[in-house]
Amino acid sequence: MALRTLDSLGSLAGKRVIVRVDFNVPLKDGVITDDGRVRAAIPTLRALVEQGARVVAVSHLGRPDGAPDAKYSLAPVATRLAELLDQPVAFATDTVADSARDTVAGLTDGQVAVLENLRFNAGETAKDDATRRAFAEELAALGDVLVSDGFGVVHRKQASVYDLADLLPSAAGLLIEKEVDVLDRLTERPERPYAVVLGGSKVSDKLGVIEHLLPRVDKILVGGGMLFTFLAAQGHKVGKSLLEVDQLDTVRRYMKTARERGVELILPVDAVMASGFAADADHVVAPADALEDTAFGADGMGLDIGPKTAELFADAIRGAKTVFWNGPMGVFEMPAFAAGTKTVAQSLTEVDGLSVVGGGDSAAAVRQLGFADDQFGHISTGGGASLEFLEGKKLPGLEILGWEA
């Protein structure tokens, strides 16, 4: 079956439409530091407002452990949403109790409300089906239909993602529709050459993606902390760099499979080695086969790909027609170790084809480094969900909307 989309719900004028969005934004002292996920929800919310729906936006934020916690309140998000929609947004101070019921009852056609953090109620993430279902039923009483548009949580079997979609007439919003289309292109119909750039800290986080994509891609580029496990698998010493010893045999198997399939596995030729994990740490560039031959010796720690690797990666990326990137190349939060990530991001903006930034830390990195969302073909809003989709896993939040992988 195909994914049910907004059109399948018919006219929504005057109806109470619960929209499961992903407003899980980073906050610092109550201020949103990256509103990308809020902006990503705007097309769907605006489309519903223009239809005359009574819009009830629901989301989680952080991990408040099933009870109210002021530092995880969605109040700042409701304020930002009102600015982006250029209209007032009502805010309920609970999820399904008096404030939520009164706020929803007070909506008129075309108005928008945000309910407080769903995870303030333990039922949202409960493992027990009955507990989760009971919370979903309380949410369902607040709406007539559900529009599911929080792609970042579709890999979770949670009350507002799965059970609520079963209780109410439901369909995917514009964001989920776009995410699924882009990720389906990456797995089933990529334009070639197809390059995948993988970074981040651990190989173990990317095992499923590597396994599933190896038969489908032309090039795999490996950076980030995971690069040191690949270099160690080649017999190189890596000092005190991040190393997953238990993954060495798996990595060697992937390298062998890549050779057999004719997939070009591009590994770093140099890295930035530092005296320690600190923004002001002393650092030097070292060849990949001589990472311990620096002043730091075996105490050196790799915190970024080197400049030669960055250019090697950039050339491979610019030469591709389809590129998927997940995971920064180094500790981009520290300016001294951000150059590799910035070079990779810049090269993605120059792709003559589809360039996809795979959510999570990668999305945060491109924005922190000064890039605009529209410089890329697509920035996914769901790091974990994107990876699980690309691993070929079944995602409960999509299956309940009719999608079959």
pLDDT digits (tens, 9 = 90+) for 230-260: 999 999 999 999 999 999 999 999 999 999 9
Give percent of the chain with pLDDT exceeding 70: 100
Which segments are annotated as binding site for (2R)-3-phosphoglycerate?
37, 119, 156
Which segments are annotated as binding site for substrate?
22-24, 37, 60-63, 119, 156
List the catalytic residue out of 202, 216, 308, 318.
202
**CATH architecture of the region 6-174:** 3-Layer(aba) Sandwich (3.40)
Q: Which helix (H) or strand (E) holds 378?
A: strand 378-379
Q: Which helix (H) or strand (E) holds 137?
A: helix 129-140
3-state secondary structure of 53: coil
At 130, list the tokens: 């009955």
pLDDT, position 57:
98
Whether the predicted pLDDT of 16 surpasses 80:
yes
In terms of Cβ atoms closer than 10 Å to its own Cβ (0-12, 13-18, 19+), residue 132 is buried
Question: Considering only the top CATH level, what class is 182-390?
Answer: alpha beta
Q: Where in the chain is the domain with CATH 3.40.50.1260?
A: 6-174, 182-390
Whether the predicted pLDDT of 378 surpasses 80:
yes
* DSSP per-residue letters across 335-349: GGG-HHHHHHHHHHT
Kindly give, in sequence order, each residue whose CB lies less than 8 Å from that of residue 60, ignoring residues fewer than 6 positions away. 22, 23, 24, 117, 118, 119, 124, 153, 160
Contact present, 282 and 297 (Cβ < 8 Å): no
Higher pLDDT, 88 or 202: 88
Give the dihedral sign, CA 158/160/162/167: positive
Give the dihedral sign, CA 2/6/10/15: positive
**Average pLDDT of the residues in 282-295:** 97
CA distance 243 to 279: 21
Give the number of C-alpha atoms closer than 13 A to the C-alpha of residue 300, restricted to the C-beta side.
27
Which segments are annotated as binding site for ATP?
206, 302, 333, 359-362
- Does the annotation mark 384 as catalytic? yes
Q: Using 50, 70 and 90 to split pLDDT, how confident is the model at 1?
A: low
pLDDT, position 76:
97
Whether the predicted pLDDT of 95 surpasses 90:
yes
CA distance 211 to 253: 10
DSSP code of residue 198:
E
pLDDT digits (tens, 9 = 90+) for 190-230: 999 999 999 998 888 888 889 899 999 999 999 999 999 99
- Does the annotation mark 360 as catalytic? yes
* DSSP per-residue letters across 243-302: --GGGHHHHHHHHHHHHHHT-EEE--SEEEEESSSSTT--EEEEEGGGTTSSTTGGG-EE
Q: Using 50, 70 and 90 to split pLDDT, how confident is the model at 383?
A: confident
- Does the annotation mark 261 as catalytic? no
List the catalytic residue out of 20, 37, 157, 342.
37
Mean pLDDT, the chain, whole residue set: 95
Whether the predicted pLDDT of 405 surpasses 80:
no
- Does the annotation mark 300 as catalytic? no
**Average pLDDT of the residues in 388-405:** 92
pLDDT, position 359:
73
pLDDT digits (tens, 9 = 90+) for 138-169: 999 999 999 999 999 999 999 999 999 999 99
List the catalytic residue out of 208, 377, 384, 402.
384
Contact present, 393 and 386 (Cβ < 8 Å): no
pLDDT digits (tens, 9 = 90+) for 361-373: 888 899 999 999 9
List the catalytic residue out of 360, 382, 383, 397.
360
3-state secondary structure of 355: strand
- Least trusted range by pLDDT, from 80-89, 342-351, 358-367: 358-367
pLDDT, position 7:
95
pLDDT, position 381:
87
Whether the predicted pLDDT of 109 surpasses 70:
yes
**Average pLDDT of the residues in 15-31:** 95
Which segments are annotated as binding site?
22-24, 37, 60-63, 119, 156, 206, 302, 333, 359-362
